[in-house]
């Protein structure tokens, strides 16, 4: 109870003895009021018996001022929204509050008093600053009366509501222009060249952006003083790329037993024309994720051309002596006995290498033979039937499709046995290396009369040239 009275006196001193500070329930307020009235009555007593009453009152001050509900523990145990652990925690906290207090409230808050005193000093300084600013302003014939100045001055209560930081006397907006120094060869700045390559901005576009920024200055910049042109941008970016590539080669440490991978692809260049590009990759111990050495343009996809491009890349990266194996697709341009890329590459590096052929292209021959038997042989780069299907895909009714009627065949039939084995395998596989493998598996189940757990849906056809041999299956 001693701490309750101290907090009560502190609240009365700070709030001016206002009754609104009591926010407890009616019983708590009445109990505190009786305690305060008892203390006031002891101050008025002057007889000898008052000393005994004072000592008795002091002894009661060290007791617990219990305002808790008598059935608080029972209410916590009956609460269905709390878990058993939460109930035990709440009961332990309640019992701890009824125990001995390890801290107490001393006299008036000196820290709060110091903060309040500093706040009053800041208010006085703020008022003095505003008075000086008002005195410095020139008077005019249509000046406002003095009452308007007083009304615009913030009151002490308004100042106390503001932030405790010192407010500026007058707001001054920043200047709309900033003085900076730009290099004359601004296109040769590394940050600008890296940004242009990262965002795939052409030389003309980067020159236009820089020129627009210079013309936006005040006064506008003289473009003749800066070296900005399309050729300057092209030379600067090419030089920067060579520097970055040289730094990458210097920092690269090839694995002691390296495996070289390569593969070619037809891609479109910046002018929209198709050209052969060959990617050369290296992996090994310490480089499990691999390292891309180059993506070189080649005139064709013959074995000799691919071998020369691969040999040039590993020589540029100084890892020819570390190459121990070759990884390649099992196409005729790579595996040819006389004109294959593997034979030519071993001759260029002057040593025999371990051959790691990717055998998934063996199935391409099987699929090609089956497709030729069904649709006939063709020398065109794409199948005309697939091209027509791709163009008219949006006009087709995807809900109308046919299935093979082999679900009711006898179990002794070889086709029924093959169907059962295929369906069992495709339903057990949950992860696929490529999305077109997943699509082919789901379509196979659909044709065999089994609905996939993911549902029945048809994807729009993609590339259908002969190099995409999975297109024939799909």
Per-residue pLDDT of the chain (474 residues; tens, 9 = 90+): 666 666 666 665 544 443 333 345 666 777 778 887 877 887 777 666 677 777 777 777 777 767 777 777 888 888 877 788 888 888 888 787 777 666 555 556 677 778 888 888 888 888 887 766 555 554 444 444 443 334 344 444 454 444 444 444 555 677 788 888 888 888 888 888 888 888 888 889 888 988 898 888 888 888 888 888 889 989 999 999 899 888 888 888 888 899 999 988 888 876 778 888 999 999 888 777 788 899 998 988 889 999 999 999 999 898 889 999 999 988 888 888 889 999 999 999 999 999 988 876 677 778 878 878 877 777 776 777 777 878 888 888 777 777 777 777 777 778 888 888 888 888 888 788 778 888 888 888 888 878 777 777 777 777 776 667 677 777
For the chain, the residue count is: 474
Burial of 193 (C-beta count, 10 Å sphere; 0-12/13-18/19+):
buried
Q: Is the dihedral of CA 402, 405, 407, 411 positive or negative?
A: negative
How confident is the model at residue 305, as a pLDDT? 92
Q: Which of 53, 64, 129 is nearest to 99 (CA)?
A: 64
Q: Which of 326, 274, 269 is nearest to 303 (CA)?
A: 326
- 10-15: which pairs have CB atoms within 8 A and are 24 or more residues apart? 10/105, 10/108, 10/109, 13/108
How confident is the model at residue 368, as a pLDDT? 79
Q: Domain limits of the chain?
A: 2-97, 109-136, 186-245, 255-362, 365-473
How confident is the model at residue 119, as a pLDDT? 87
pTM for the model stands at 0.46
How confident is the model at residue 164, as a pLDDT? 45
How confident is the model at residue 341, as a pLDDT? 92
How confident is the model at residue 149, as a pLDDT? 38
Cα first-last separation, the chain: 85
How confident is the model at residue 472, as a pLDDT? 75
How confident is the model at residue 365, as a pLDDT? 77
How confident is the model at residue 165, as a pLDDT? 44
Strand segments, DSSP code E, in 166-246 are none
How confident is the model at residue 48, as a pLDDT? 65
Dump the DSSP string for 223-262: GGGS---HHHHHHHHHHHHHHHHHHHHHH----SSEEEEE
255-362: which CATH number, 3.30.420.10, 3.40.960.10, 3.50.50.60, 3.40.605.10? 3.30.420.10
**CA dist., res. 28 & res. 8, Å (int):** 12
């Amino acid at each position: 109870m001693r701490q309750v009275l101290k907090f009560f006196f502190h609240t009365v001193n700070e709030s001016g003895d206002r009754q609104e500070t009591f926010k407890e329930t009616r019983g708590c307020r009445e109990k505190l009021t009786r305690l305060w009235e008892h203390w006031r009555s002891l101050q008025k007593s002057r007889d000898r018996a008052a000393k005994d009453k004072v000592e008795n009152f002091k002894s009661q001050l060290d007791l617990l001022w219990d305002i808790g509900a008598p059935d608080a523990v029972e209410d916590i145990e009956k609460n269905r929204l709390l878990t058993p652990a939460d109930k035990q925690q709440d009961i332990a906290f309640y019992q701890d509050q009824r125990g001995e207090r390890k801290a107490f409230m001393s006299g008036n808050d000196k820290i709060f008093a110091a903060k309040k005193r500093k706040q009053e000093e800041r208010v006085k300084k703020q008022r003095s600053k505003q008075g000086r600013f008002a005195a410095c302003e020139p008077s005019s014939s249509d000046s406002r009366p003095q009452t308007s100045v007083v009304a615009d001055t913030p009151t002490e209560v308004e100042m106390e509501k503001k932030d405790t930081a010192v407010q500026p006397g007058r707001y001054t907006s920043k200047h709309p222009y900033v003085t900076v120094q730009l290099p004359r060869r601004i296109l040769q700045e590394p940050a600008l060249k890296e940004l242009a390559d990262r965002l795939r901005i052409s030389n003309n576009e980067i020159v236009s952006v820089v020129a627009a920024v210079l013309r936006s200055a005040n006064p506008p910049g003289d473009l003749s003083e800066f070296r900005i042109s399309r050729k300057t941008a092209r030379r600067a970016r090419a030089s920067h790329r060579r520097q970055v590539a040289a730094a990458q080669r210097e920092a690269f440490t090839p694995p002691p037993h390296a495996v070289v991978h390569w593969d070619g692809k037809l891609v479109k260049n910046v002018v929209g024309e198709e050209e052969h590009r060959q990617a050369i990759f290296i992996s090994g111990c310490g480089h499990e994720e691999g390292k891309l050495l180059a993506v070189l343009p080649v005139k064709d996809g013959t074995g000799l051309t691919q071998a020369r491009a691969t040999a040039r890349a590993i020589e540029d990266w100084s890892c020819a002596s570390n190459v121990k194996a070759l990884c390649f697709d099992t196409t005729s341009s790579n595996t040819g006995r006389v004109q294959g890329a593997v034979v030519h590459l071993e001759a260029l590096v002057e040593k025999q290498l371990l051959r790691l052929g990717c055998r998934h292209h063996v199935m391409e021959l099987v699929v090609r033979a089956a497709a030729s038997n069904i649709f006939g042989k063709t020398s065109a780069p794409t199948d005309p039937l697939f091209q027509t299907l791709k163009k008219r895909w949006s006009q087709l009714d995807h809900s109308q499709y046919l299935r093979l009627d082999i679900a009711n065949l006898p179990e002794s039939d070889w086709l029924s046995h093959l169907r059962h084995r295929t369906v069992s395998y495709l339903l057990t596989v949950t992860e696929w290396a490529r999305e077109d493998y997943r699509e082919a598996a789901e379509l196979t189940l659909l044709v065999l009369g089994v609905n996939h757990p993911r549902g029945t849906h048809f994807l729009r056809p993609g590339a259908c040239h002969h190099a995409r041999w999975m297109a024939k299956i799909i």
